A = this chain, B = another copy of it.
Amino acid sequence: MAEPLADERLRAARDAAPPLTEAEIAALAAQLPDWRIVERDGERQLERTFRTPDFRSALAFATRVGDLAEAAGHHPALLVEWGRVTVRWWTHQSGGLDRNDFVMAARTDRAWADRNQADR
């Protein structure tokens, strides 16, 4: 069985790789059904909105994603509102989506699942 996407190591920015092909993007996106590919400022980004019970819980989840980001050295945009957090991952240097962004999205999903687990 293939290694889960969330467990992959990120590729360092210095290890330049060719941009993902459309087929590669489609294959990775298929592993992340809750994420949408959106275009912002001419760059494609991975976006998912997480619903939470209130503002405090939204900020708490944003902080958790921020911790993941710090640990990985790769940072998202986090929009915190009452009852939801919108997370966006992309790689400006790659002009859009890099494999690292899909890995971080998978880690975000895992953090979300773990959070719900802890709430039960």
Contact = CB atoms under 8 A, between A and B. Distances in A.
Interface of A: 55-56, 59, 62-63, 66, 69-70, 75, 77-82
Nearest to A79: B79
In the complex this chain forms, how many copies of it are found?
Answer: 2
5 contacts: A55-B75, A59-B63, A62-B80, A78-B80, A80-B80
Nearest to A88: B81
A77 B82 CA distance: 8
Contacts of A55: 66, 69-70, 75
Contact of A77 (B63, B69, B79): B79
A82 B59 CA distance: 16
